[in-house]
Structure 1
């Protein structure tokens, strides 16, 4: 994880803090790690908290239209989404 981008590190921290999962578990996530539908902690109620925390920590705005199953499908997709918002 030493080569991880700032956005990736923030997304890992948000997942850890919002979902209450261990740092070692989050550290093991790779681009293909499935999230929504595969992590029991990431249910529809947790999604709102996750997105709000990402907005706060990354200084971005996530519109309702941005939220879909694809952006939450994998860790890589979530990081790519967050990175695109930071660059916008």
Structure 2
């Protein structure tokens, strides 16, 4: 079951990816839960991850610890949003 904050967090994460990675609005709007990110999206390299996570922290007011960042969390748009939504509840 998804947290009730999921839709708002998804909108924020989508905006962060658009702004940080320079995605077009059309491309960002097409992101869905199954869209692969790290390793599949050329813009989402290891350097971009740091910027994306920092911006997510700022916009959502959460803290993402280094030991929480892994490939599973960054595998898909849905995985990243689910992780961030859970962080907003803690």
Report TM bin, short chain: over 0.9
For normalisation by structure 1, the TM-score amounts to 0.94
Alpha-carbon distance between aligned partners in 2 of 1:87 and 1:70, rounded to the nearest angstrom: 20
What TM-score, normalized by structure 2, do the two folds share?
A: 0.92
Q: CA deviation at 1:66?
A: 0.6
Unaligned stretches of 5+ in structure 2? 1-5
| Unmatched runs of 5 consecutive residues or more in structure 1 | none
1:1-88 maps to which residues of 2 (within 5 A)?
Answer: 5-88=7-90
CA RMSD of aligned residues (A): 0.9
List, as ranges, runs of 4+ consecutive aligned residues in structure 1 with deviation greater than 6 Å: none
The total of aligned residue pairs comes to 85
